[in-house]
Amino acid sequence: MKKILPIVILILLLIVLRIPFVTQYLFDWDAVQLALGMDEFNIEKHQPHPPGYFLYIYFAKFINIFLDNSNLAMIMENIILSIIALLIFYLIAKKIFKNEFLGFLASFIFITNPFIWFHSEFANIYIIDLCFSLIYFYTSYLIIIQNKNLLWLFSSLFALGIGFRQSLVIFFLPLYIYACLFDFKFTKSKIKKILLNVLIFSIVFLCWFIPNSIVVGGFIKLLGISKNQFLASSKTTSILSMAKIEALGGQFFNTFKLLIYSSSLLSLFSFIAIFYKKIKISKKNSIIFLLSILPSFLFYSLIHLGKIGYIMTISGIFMTLGLFTINKLFKESSRIIIILFIIILQLPLFIYGIDGFITNKTLLINVSPYDVSYLNLKNSDLRIRKTIYEIKKYDPDDTILITEADSPYIIPKSNFIKNMRLGGYYLPKYHLYNIFNDGQNKKYYYINNKKTNLINSSRVSIPTNTKNILLITDNFNYDIYDFKKNSGFEEIFHKRIENQNEFEYLGYTFIKNL
Mean pLDDT of 95-116: 94
User: Does residue 276 have a pLDDT over 70?
Assistant: yes
Question: Looking at residue 352, what is its pLDDT?
Answer: 65
Q: H helices of 114-264, where? A: 114-118, 126-144, 151-164, 168-181, 188-216, 219-234, 245-262
| Overall size of the chain counted in residues | 514
Higher-confidence residue of 428 and 364: namely 428
Residue range 240-271, pLDDT digits in tens:
888 888 888 989 988 998 898 888 789 889 99
Omega of the bond leading into 48 within 30 degrees of 0 (cis): yes
Averaged pLDDT of the chain: 88
Contacts of 177 (CB under 8 A, 6+ apart): none
Q: What is the model's pLDDT at position 411?
A: 40
**Percent of the chain clearing pLDDT 70 (strictly above):** 90
Q: Is the pLDDT of residue 368 over 70?
A: no
Number of helical (H) and strand (E) elements in the chain, helices listed first: 18, 10
Rounded CA Rg of the chain:
25
Output the CA torsion sign for 184, 190, 194, 195.
positive
**pLDDT digit string (tens) for 131-161?**
999 999 999 999 999 999 999 999 999 999 9
Instruction: Count other C-beta atoms under 10 Å from residue 214's C-beta.
Output: 11
- Of the pLDDT bands very low, low, confident and very high (cuts 50, 70, 90), residue 321 is very high
Distance, first Cα to last Cα, the chain: 68
Maximum average pLDDT range among 119-123, 440-444, 472-476:
119-123
Distance of CA 333 to CAs 261, 273, 324, 326, Å? 27, 20, 15, 11
What confidence score (pLDDT) does residue 362 get?
39
Is the pLDDT reported for residue 365 higher than 50? no
Q: How far is 406 from 438, CA to CA, in rounded Å?
A: 8
Looking at the chain, the whole-number percentage of residues with pLDDT higher than 90 is: 60
The residues spanned by each domain of the chain are 4-355, 392-512
Q: Tell me the whole-structure pTM to 2 decimals.
A: 0.92
200: amino acid identity, one letter: I
Tens digits of residue pLDDT in 476-501? 666 677 777 776 666 788 889 998 99
